[in-house]
């Protein structure tokens, strides 16, 4: 009984095999997220949803926590989803993924539902993932018997509720809860949480944690495909430039993502089966083949930093330099050896 049970459990860990797409021209035509959403012009989070749906394919279920990708993206009779989607509460991304995966697994295991690997993807913004839902995401990453992906679309503020500061907002950013005033220029003094690395370090059984940026769509899709194929709970953190909250011309959505990576502000990496791999420009930054662009080129392009003085920019630069020059694992794990 015990052995059969173990075998049974193993069987139900099977996943879909989603091979990487080798280049943009190999990406298939089929879309599973189209139109109907009411997001901003140049919304990179909507773009991420499109890429994610494409990467996961038709045998997927998506759970969406409260945030822009719920309120702006999925409204009554205005759904953009071709695959099943369900709302979940702001702090419930981890729970939604766990519950959906557990429900499917129980039904298949007991013969109440046709047995097949179904992708379970739960998405949340930084409010849902970095702040309120962190505890449930951490729990979800511990339940290694469930195949699920938690995708954090980080636009660095509670952009949906009118742009309030979150634990993922960059230092000094102007938000409606940290508006610079006559007496205080910098209202938001917290440094952005290092969420992906924290989750990778804290959940050694989790087989896949990655950072992505929508400016690199093929890489982002392949990351999703790997996360869904590898088995067990997985986590991807995406930096999504937000024309509304960051205050920039929407046409620069793609470019600002690139600059975030090239300035070293957003490192791209995967932790796969316990092994860290930097990729893209970030890999070349670590190897010294690419010189990081000054953060000024990033900050001055966004209205949310328009109040920055040279001193603020220098501070931001110094903190970013620290990530790459002082950290134990550059761009990923802080603290130096004592």
Partner 1 sequence: MSPAKATAVKRVEATGGPSGETEELISGSEAIAHVCRLADVDVITAYPIRPYDTVMQCVSQMISNGDFDCEFIVAESEHSQFEIVKHASAVGARVFCGSSGVGWFYAFEALAVTAGLRLPMVAMVGNRALDDPGAFGVEHNDALAVRDLGWMLAWVSTAQEALDTALIAYRVAEDPRVFLPCAISCDGAFLTHSQAIVNVPSQEMVDGFLPPYDRAEKQLHPDNPITIAPQANEDWLMEMRRQNDMAARRARDVIIEAYEDFGAKFGRGGEPFIERYMMEDAEVALVGMGTLAMPVKVAVRKMREQGKKVGFTRVRWFRPFPTQELQDALGGTKAVAVIDRDYSFGSTFYSGTLTNELRSALYPLESRPKIVSTIAGLGGREVTADNVIEIAGMAFDVAEGGDVSEEDTYWIGVRE
Partner 2 sequence: MSTASVEVVYRGIFQKTMAKNICRGVVLAARKEGKIGIAFGRYSDSPERNGIPAKQFAVVSDSEEELEEHLSRYEPDNNDVTIVADDTLCKGVESWAWYGLQPINKLLGDGGTLVVTSTQSANKLIKTIHRKGSPYDLAIVKAAASFSGLWVYKDDHTDVRLLGALAKVAPHIVSLDSITKAISEQWKDESKVASAMKAYDMVESTPVGADQGSDAEPFSFSMPGWTKMEEGLVIRGIDQKPQEVPGWDGGYVPSRNPTFKKFSTRTMRPVINFDTCTKCTLCWLSCPDTCFDITPDGFYDANMEACCGCGVCEAVCPVAECVTMVNEEAFEDNDSQWEMWTKDTAGYAAWLTEKIADKPTRSHGFHHVGQYAEEIADESR
- Residues lying near partner 1 in the complex (CB under 8 A): 1, 58-61, 63, 70-71, 74-79, 81-89, 91-92, 94-100, 102-107, 109-110, 112-113, 118, 135-136, 138-139, 143
Which one, of 56, 220, 200, 213, lies nearest residue 138 by Cα? 200
231: phi > 0 → left, psi -120 to 50 → alpha, else beta; which?
Answer: left
Give the other-Cβ count within 10 Å of 96's Cβ. Answer: 28
276 binds, among partner 2, partner 1, none (CB under 5 to 8 A by kind): none
Q: What is the spatial distance between Cα 20 and Cα 26, in angstroms, rounded to a whole number? A: 9
The reply on whether position 76 binds partner 2 by CB under 8 A is yes
Instruction: Compare residues 240 and 272 and give the one whose CB is closer to partner 2.
Output: 240
Instruction: Compare residues 102 and 230 and give the one whose CB is closer to partner 1.
Output: 102
The reply on whether position 252 binds partner 2 by CB under 8 A is yes
Out of 64, 170, 217, 330, the only residue in the binding site for partner 2 (CB under 8 A) is 217
Instruction: Compare residues 106 and 306 and give the one whose CB is closer to partner 1.
Output: 106
Within a 13 Å sphere around the CA of 138, how many CA atoms are in the beta-carbon half? 12
The pattern of x and - marking residues 7 through 46 that bind partner 2 according to CB under 8 A reads -----------------xx-x-xxxxxxxxxxxxxxxx-x
Q: What is the spatial distance between Cα 200 and Cα 210, in angstroms, rounded to a whole number? A: 9
Cα 56 from chain centre? 15
The reply on whether position 301 binds partner 2 by CB under 8 A is yes
Q: What is the spatial distance between Cα 100 and Cα 282, in angstroms, rounded to a whole number? A: 35
Out of 22, 59, 251, 277, the only residue in the binding site for partner 2 (CB under 8 A) is 251
Rounded least distance, CB 163 to partner 1, Å: 18
Please classify residue 220 by burial: count the beta carbons closer than 10 Å to its beta carbon, then call 0-12 exposed, 13-18 middle and 19+ buried.
Answer: buried
Rounded least distance, CB 121 to partner 1, Å: 12
Q: What is the spatial distance between Cα 329 and Cα 306, in angstroms, rounded to a whole number? A: 32
Residues interacting with partner 2, by CB under 8 A?
Answer: 24-25, 27, 29-44, 46-47, 50, 58, 71-72, 75-85, 159-163, 174, 217-218, 243-245, 247-255, 300-304, 306
């Amino acid at each position: 009984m015990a052995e059969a049970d173990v075998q049974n459990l193993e069987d139900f860990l099977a996943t879909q095999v989603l091979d990487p797409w080798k280049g943009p021209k190999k990406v298939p035509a089929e879309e599973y997220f189209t139109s109907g959403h009411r997001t901003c012009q140049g919304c990179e989070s909507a773009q991420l949803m499109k890429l994610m749906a494409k990467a996961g394919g038709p045998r997927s279920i998506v759970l969406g926590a409260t945030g822009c990708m719920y309120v702006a993206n999925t409204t009554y009779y205005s759904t953009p989803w071709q695959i099943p989607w369900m709302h979940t509460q702001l702090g419930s991304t981890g729970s939604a993924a766990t519950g959906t995966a557990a429900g499917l697994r129980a039904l298949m295991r007991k013969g109440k539902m046709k047995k097949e690997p179904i992708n379970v993807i739960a998405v949340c913004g930084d409010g849902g993932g970095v702040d309120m839902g962190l505890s449930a995401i951490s729990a979800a990453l511990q339940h290694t018997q469930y195949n699920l992906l938690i995708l954090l679309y980080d636009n660095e503020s509670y952009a949906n509720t009118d742009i309030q500061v979150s634990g993922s907002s960059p230092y000094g950013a102007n938000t409606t809860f940290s508006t610079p005033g006559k007496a205080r220029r910098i209202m938001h003094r917290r440094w952005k949480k290092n969420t992906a690395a924290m989750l990778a370090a804290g959940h050694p059984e989790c087989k896949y944690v990655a950072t992505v940026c929508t400016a690199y769509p093929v890489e982002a899709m392949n990351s999703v495909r790997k996360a869904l194929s590898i088995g067990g709970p997985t986590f991807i953190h995406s930096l999504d430039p937000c024309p509304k909250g960051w205050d920039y011309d929407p046409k620069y959505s793609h470019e600002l993502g690139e600059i975030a990576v090239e300035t070293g502000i957003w490192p791209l990496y995967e932790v796969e089966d316990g092994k860290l791999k930097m990729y893209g420009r970030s890999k070349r930054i670590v190897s010294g083949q690419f010189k990081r662009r000054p953060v000024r080129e990033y900050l001055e392009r966004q209205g949310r930093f328009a109040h920055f003085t040279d001193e603020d920019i220098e501070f931001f630069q110094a903190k970013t330099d620290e990530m790459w020059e002082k950290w134990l694992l550059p761009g990923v794990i802080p603290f130096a050896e004592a």
